[in-house]
């Protein structure tokens, strides 16, 4: 089975990790080798010490992309639920994959900031509103939504299972599931 990187980008609390973990379970049940490179875990272990400046965010995204490409090149389906707010950083990761002949799909989990701020899974929106933090993607720091993703998921309008199913259908259509 061939590997590929499936990059899920979107605002904080958009549902990226939940969709990725749901799909990962389904793919494993089907016999695929799967890894989820969660943005929060990567920041803790691979990108410790990086802040949230544009340069640090770019470095973080490139590191994650490098690891994802290595795994994907060895037959792993790599699900990457990471905000990755800047289009040029995501494009650099795509090019890195293309140059090495490794599959790469970009998925935009397009949940509006109004919905994300209500979900507020990690309390970031509340902390930003209280003035405790700044630089929150989509609020007081930019998020550049993908112009032409391989798939756009309106996660706020469907169930997690439906969102994961739409992504599975994309993978099946590309011969990856």
142: left (phi over 0), alpha (psi -120 to 50) or beta: beta
For 91-145, what is the HEC assignment? HHHHHHHHHCCCEEEEEEECCCHHHHHHHCCCCHHHHHHCCCCCCCECCCECCCC
10 is in an annotated binding site: yes
13 is in an annotated binding site: yes
Sheet containing 4-9: which strands, arranged edge to edge? 34-36, 77-81, 4-9, 103-109, 151-153
47 is in an annotated binding site: no
17 is in an annotated binding site: yes
d(CA 46, CA 109): 24
101 is in an annotated binding site: no
3 is in an annotated binding site: no
15 is in an annotated binding site: yes
Say if residues 9 and 109 touch (Cβ distance below 8 Å).
yes
12 is in an annotated binding site: yes
Say if residues 107 and 101 touch (Cβ distance below 8 Å).
no
Other C-beta atoms closer than 10 Å to the C-beta of 63 total 17
Q: Annotated binding site: which residue ranges?
A: 10-17
* Annotation: binding site for ATP: 10-17
């Amino acid at each position: 089975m061939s590997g590929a990187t499936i990059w899920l980008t979107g605002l904080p609390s958009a549902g990226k990790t939940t969709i990725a973990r749901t799909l990962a379970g389904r793919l494993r049940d089907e016999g695929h080798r799967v890894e989820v490179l969660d943005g929060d875990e990567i920041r803790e272990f691979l990108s410790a010490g990086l802040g949230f400046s544009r340069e640090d965010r770019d470095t973080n995204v490139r590191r994650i992309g490098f690891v994802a490409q290595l795994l994907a090149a060895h037959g792993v389906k790599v699900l990457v639920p990471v905000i990755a707010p800047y289009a040029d950083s995501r494009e650099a990761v795509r090019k890195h994959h293309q140059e090495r002949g490794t599959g790469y799909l970009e998925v935009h989990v397009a949940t509006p900031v109004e919905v994300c701020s209500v979900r507020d899974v990690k309390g970031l929106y509340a902390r930003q509103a209280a003035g405790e933090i700044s630089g929150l993607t989509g609020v007081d720091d930019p998020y550049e939504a993908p112009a032409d993703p391989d798939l756009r998921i309106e996660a706020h309008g469907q169930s997690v299972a439906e969102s994961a199913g739409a992504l599975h259908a994309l993978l099946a259509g590309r011969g990856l599931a």
